């Protein structure tokens, strides 16, 4: 009888040990999943924080040359921080009319452009007309969504393309702070 009760006690201890090991194993897996999800969320937040510096210009048609110079400077700093060169996942290129300006000196870029140069990104200015109100114009625009490209591996912005706005009526309206009504 003593042996039977000792056997039951040993069996109970073994069962409790198995339960403790199972619980510990479950907790380790859960902590690993939590850590993995937290790292993924932090990485996504970091990518979004980086991308927003470029995507803020998407759909805009009043981007000044100083704004473009700021983007060039930010992209150059990113490329230097990551020691990235063309073709790398972390390399960011800035283009104007499809031509890279990432290697340009910022001061030379600003000196070489006029103060009344404005750019558009992911939008195309169409017909510009007056509305009858002296400080107001109506502008037809088309959203293109092709000027910002993303790296497939990192989902980070890899290039942004600006187009010079050549419509003098629109540029003059920007310079004179007219109210611009968008006609999509």
- Rounded Cα distance between 172 and 67, Å, is 18
Domain count across the chain? 2
pLDDT in tens, 107-133: 777 776 666 788 999 888 888 887 777
Residues 145 and 182 both lie in one domain: yes
Residues 69 and 118 both lie in one domain: yes
Residues 15 and 68 both lie in one domain: no
Which of 11, 31, 55 corresponds to the end of one domain? 55
Name the residue range of residue 48's domain.
1-55
Q: For position 112, what pLDDT does the model report?
A: 66
Residues 71 and 38 both lie in one domain: no
- The rounded mean pLDDT for the chain is 85
Residues 46 and 89 both lie in one domain: no
Residues 76 and 50 both lie in one domain: no
Strand partners, 182: 139
Residues 136 and 167 both lie in one domain: yes
pLDDT in tens, 9-42: 888 888 898 889 898 888 888 877 777 776 676 6
CA distance from start to end of the chain: 91
- Rounded Cα distance between 74 and 49, Å, is 13
pLDDT in tens, 145-168: 889 999 988 889 999 999 998 888
pTM score of the predicted model: 0.74
Residues 149 and 173 both lie in one domain: yes
């Amino acid at each position: 009888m003593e042996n039977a009760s000792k056997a039951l006690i040993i069996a109970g201890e073994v069962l409790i040990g198995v339960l403790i090991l199972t619980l510990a194993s479950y907790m380790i897996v859960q902590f690993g999943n939590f850590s993995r999800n937290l790292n993924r969320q932090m990485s996504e937040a970091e990518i979004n924080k980086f991308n927003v510096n470029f995507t803020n210009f998407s759909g805009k048609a009043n981007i000044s040359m100083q704004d473009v110079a700021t983007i060039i400077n930010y992209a150059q700093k990113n490329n230097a921080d990551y020691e990235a060169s063309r073709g790398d996942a972390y390399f960011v290129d800035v283009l104007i009319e499809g031509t890279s300006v990432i290697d340009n000196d910022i001061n030379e870029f600003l000196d070489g452009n006029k103060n009344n140069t404005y750019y558009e990104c992911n939008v195309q200015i169409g017909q510009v007309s007056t509305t009858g109100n002296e400080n107001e114009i109506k502008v037809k625009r088309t959203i293109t969504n092709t000027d910002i490209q993303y790296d497939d591996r990192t989902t980070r912005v890899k290039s942004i393309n600006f187009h010079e706005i050549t419509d003098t009526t629109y540029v003059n309206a920007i310079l004179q702070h007219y109210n611009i009504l968008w006609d999509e």
